[in-house]
Amino acid sequence: MIYTSYDMIRDCRAGKPEGWSYFIVQYVPVIRKVLAHYYPDAATSLEQLLPALRATLSSLDPVAERPFVAGLRQNVLAAAAPAQEGDIELDVLGEALDPLTVVEKEAVWFETMRYNADEAGRMLRMAPATVEKIRARAGELLRGKLDRWRSTILTDNGLPLGRAAAARGTETCIPPKDLLDMIDGRTTWTAREAIERHVNACWHCIDHFCRLHETIDLLRASQPLTASEAEPFKKMLGLEMPQAKFWQRLRGV
């Protein structure tokens, strides 16, 4: 029997050490990458974040791994720094970028997420030069809507813009499974057109779409902790060593 994110969340909610051990081994590396990307100079440490993340995980409904990691990323950013004011409103950005397609808006939104053209191109399976051209056009569109504009305005305002977009979800927003089906190429043309019509007018879904692309990239680049690397975090949470049977489940034995 394979141990999944569903099992992990259920065990964490039940206070079982198996769930927390799995969380530490599999997802501390992901958390480290998120912190290194968004807060490279911040003093916030993993040790400071774990109690807040533990409280969140204890009340989370079981979900599949990729939606879980996308939500974990949101919780890490929320816990690592307080909310901050920006100098560009999401509605202004939306109005400026209205002529762009969904994938063009994603290329621009990845700039608010502090990803350069090479990184965004990798996640969107797009040539970096194409990303640069899209962003140059977006910059000109945005410049015409602002009294004060600078080349770093999207990067500088990324966190408040992201929080504003995340707060705009409605019952009509596209479920993560459907967005992941599009990313994985499992969507019919008819379904794809319907999804893109909604996403093109919804910055919550643009943000969610990009976070799922980012999640796939994070998981691909992360390696689980070794037993010795995980031990300090287990002690931090007061966990007892899992039984051998549990580690067999992790390996699919």
Total domains in the fold of the chain: 2
* Cβ neighbours of residue 97 closer than 8 Å, sequence gap 6 or more: 104, 105, 108, 138, 141, 142
**214 and 197 in a common domain:** yes
pLDDT tens-place values along the chain, 253 residues long: 789 999 999 999 998 999 999 999 999 999 999 999 998 876 567 877 888 888 888 888 999 999 999 999 999 988 887 777 888 999 999 999 999 999 999 999 999 999 999 999 999 999 999 999 999 999 999 999 998 889 999 999 999 999 999 999 999 999 999 999 999 999 999 999 999 999 999 999 999 999 999 999 999 999 999 999 999 999 888 887 555 555 555 554 3
**9 and 123 in a common domain:** no
Which backbone phi and psi does 223 adopt, to 5 degrees? -115, 135
**62 and 116 in a common domain:** no
**179 and 104 in a common domain:** yes
Residue 54, both tokens: 């533990």
**204 and 106 in a common domain:** yes
Q: Which domain holds residue 106?
A: 90-220
**163 and 229 in a common domain:** no
**94 and 73 in a common domain:** no
Residues 23/57, Cβ–Cβ less than 8 Å: yes
With tokens 């305002």, the residue in question is: 157
pTM (2 d.p.):
0.90
Alpha-carbon gap, residue 236 to 45, rounded angstroms: 13
